[in-house]
Amino acid sequence: MRKRYGADLADDLAQETYLRAAPYNLTGGIRHPKALLMRIARGIASNRARDTRHEVSIDTTQTQLPVQSEPASQDHALTLKQIVLALPVELRDVFILNHIQGLTYQEIATLRDIPLTTVHHRMRQALARTSSAMRD
């Protein structure tokens, strides 16, 4: 699995495979345990690849906050804080988890038990509102 999917993904696949395979052990003897584990792992990898293909792509040219060459002044930092705090709760939550806490969209989706596409949609809205407010 490491050769096929890489070390990071292989570790995740192994863990999820064992979690999914655990109920099979309760039902009785498994004739070919290695084959069962590999089949489950391939299915999980296939699902992840499919989910990755169907992710909503974000047009970062329109939603990125402007990059400044010098550190933000205290006034700008305070203004940004006020703008972020004024966002609706759902948008603010996703924005803070990603930009402040450093979580990925997938981690946010898992943590908040929401679809990945919802995280993308909320982030797109939060960035658009924040960017617009900063320009004003």
The pLDDT, as a whole number, for residue 33 is 74
The pLDDT, as a whole number, for residue 54 is 59
Triad 120, 126, 130: Cα angle to 5°: 145
With respect to CATH, is domain 61-135 assigned 1.10.10.10? yes
Please check the confidence at residue 88 and state whether its pLDDT lies above 80.
Answer: yes
The pLDDT, as a whole number, for residue 43 is 84
Measured N-to-C along each axis, helices 74-86 and 116-135 cross at an angle, to the nearest 10 degrees, of: 130
For range 60-76, the mean pLDDT:
57
Distance CA 22, CA 67 (A): 49
More confident residue, 72 or 50: 50
The pLDDT, as a whole number, for residue 121 is 92
pTM, entire model: 0.47
Please, where in the chain does CATH 1.10.10.10 lie? 61-135
